[in-house]
Structure 1
Amino acid sequence: MGLLISPDHIRVLKKGRTQFQINNNEQLFIRGDEIELTPEQTALVKEFSLGLRKELPEIVDIAMDSMELGFGALNKVIKGIAGTDAAQGIEEHFAVLQRSLMGRFARSGDNFYLAPQGLNELNDFFEGELSNQVKSIVTNSLSIMLDAMDEAFKKSDTEIEGKTVGLGIRVDLISAEVERSLKYNADRLEQKADAFCQRFETLDAIEARLQTQLPRLRNYDILSNETNINESH
């Protein structure tokens, strides 16, 4: 099912029709019927609504940060060894990948849309289609760099800050700079992803509690249903 988040409501859609809706983080409608909620249920609905607003768009941010981290490093290496013109092709491929990823989502200001897909399907997209495209780009990049290094060996040494520097030293300098940048940013991203996973599990448990209180919601599971399966046993 698709998920639409706007400032006033959250809607879960199937074939374009709203299955259930949360208004202003506290009113719940299932197939057009307003559900009378107890104070406890209202609190759960609010907690779940606020969690969806925060966490689902975070998936996009982490995915984009991951791609930018890897391609930023790759781009820096290619520019350092093969020059700006060689890196332009990689930047164009990266833009295609970004569009492919964003095709799974739509985000404009405070509005967010998650196209109909399961989280497992989204995982398959990252590990399958997207991964293969990344491998192809990296392979092409290595070919570009090897050609550039071959040309560099045939030419005179390069000057850096007024000093003549051989290709081997130039590669070492670029590698050290990229490695420092990668380590810092990868550690930061890993911490961000770990924190997200913990919050996501908490949100999944909230959804399970809400479905226990309001059984009609079991037909419209948004997050992974692992928690629900475990509780049913």
Structure 2
Amino acid sequence: MSLSISKVKSLLFSLLIATSMHVSADEKCDVELGHGLIITDSVIRILDNGQTRVQINNDNQLLVRGRWVKLDDQETLVLQEYAKGIRDTVPELVNLATDGVNLGLSAIEQVVEGMSDNNPEVLKTQLQYVERALMDKFKRGEDFYFIAPQSLSKIDDFFTKEISGKIHSAVHGSLGAILVSVGDAFKSREGNIESRFSDMGQRMEIISKEIDKSLQQKAYQLEEKANEYCECLNSLDNTEKRLQDIVPSLAAFDLVQIRS
């Protein structure tokens, strides 16, 4: 069975939609992170314009603007509760965000590799833009997590608009090079163009189904976590206010901001 160019484009678009729908939950928290965060095993840093303004060492030592703040035992317990709230919430958000996008990018690469013997350079360049946009918001390494200041209630907009738009550009920018490659193969008698198109469609449909399964599971995870995030973030906001009462200078670096 032959596969038309319009069918190829349709399948690509279906795959694009699937990869862009992975962050959606019925419940949303109207919460903003007012500052960026870097979290390691021993240190939490609250950032303002890329510079560390608040640092918590080993969850029990506080520095504000580089100056150590002396706390008594009861006050240290509040600090520890605050640090625990951050650690219980933010790394998981970063993991969910980066895992979802990496799945989508990997799928796009698999589709393109299945359609052409050569991976078009335009795809590599465009996917680098996608990864860069992601890392500006969420990043994780072997020993750290990073999240930028942002509205947590609009994380889905970031993925369904900005990220999906960049993936859309990557796929459609590569499509021309893919079709040229297939046409060249046909002209040089390296293969039958109809069978190549048919193979493209089969590969894309298989991959798309697998992505759908993974993304449905991820959407379910996010839906299950939505209320838990709301409770954790509200609790974290309350703990932050208690800590600000103890250390008034922390109010200048208010991290959790509840809008509702």
Structure 1 length as normaliser, TM-score?
Answer: 0.69
Counterpart of 2:236? Answer: 207
The amino acid that maps onto 1:95 is Q
Distance 1:118 1:37 in 2: 33
Distance 2:40 2:242 in 1: 25
SS of aligned partner of 1:12:
strand
**Contact 1:2–1:14 (CA under 8 A) maintained in structure 2:** yes
Counterpart of 1:162? Answer: none
Alignment coverage as a number of residue pairs: 217
Alignment of 1:32-71 (within 5 A): 32-36=68-72, 38=74, 42=77, 45-71=79-105
**Contact 1:119–1:224 (CA under 8 A) maintained in structure 2:** no
The amino acid that maps onto 2:236 is E
1:85 shift after superposition = 0.8
**Contact 2:56–2:62 (CA under 8 A) maintained in structure 1:** yes
SS of aligned partner of 1:166:
helix
Cα displacement string for residues 124-181 of structure 1 (whole angstroms, at most 9, x for unaligned residues): 765665444222112213334444566677787958xxxxx83464244213311221
**Contact 2:40–2:143 (CA under 8 A) maintained in structure 1:** yes
Counterpart of 1:118? Answer: 150
Structure 2 length as normaliser, TM-score?
Answer: 0.63
Gaps of 5+ in 1: 160-164
Distance 1:38 1:132, change over 3 A: same
Distance 1:113 1:4 in 2: 5
For the aligned residue pairs, the C-alpha RMSD in angstroms reads 3.8
The amino acid that maps onto 2:215 is A
1:173 aligns with 2:202: yes
SS of aligned partner of 1:109:
coil
1:187 aligns with 2:232: no
Distance 1:196 1:141, change over 3 A: farther
Distance 1:144 1:56, change over 3 A: same
Distance 1:121 1:203 in 2: 14
**Contact 1:25–1:49 (CA under 8 A) maintained in structure 2:** yes
Gaps of 5+ in 2: 1-34
**Contact 1:152–1:167 (CA under 8 A) maintained in structure 2:** no
SS of aligned partner of 1:52:
helix
Distance 1:106 1:61, change over 3 A: closer
Distance 1:102 1:121, change over 3 A: farther
Identity of aligned pairs, percent?
Answer: 23
Distance 2:74 2:159 in 1: 40
Distance 2:138 2:98 in 1: 12
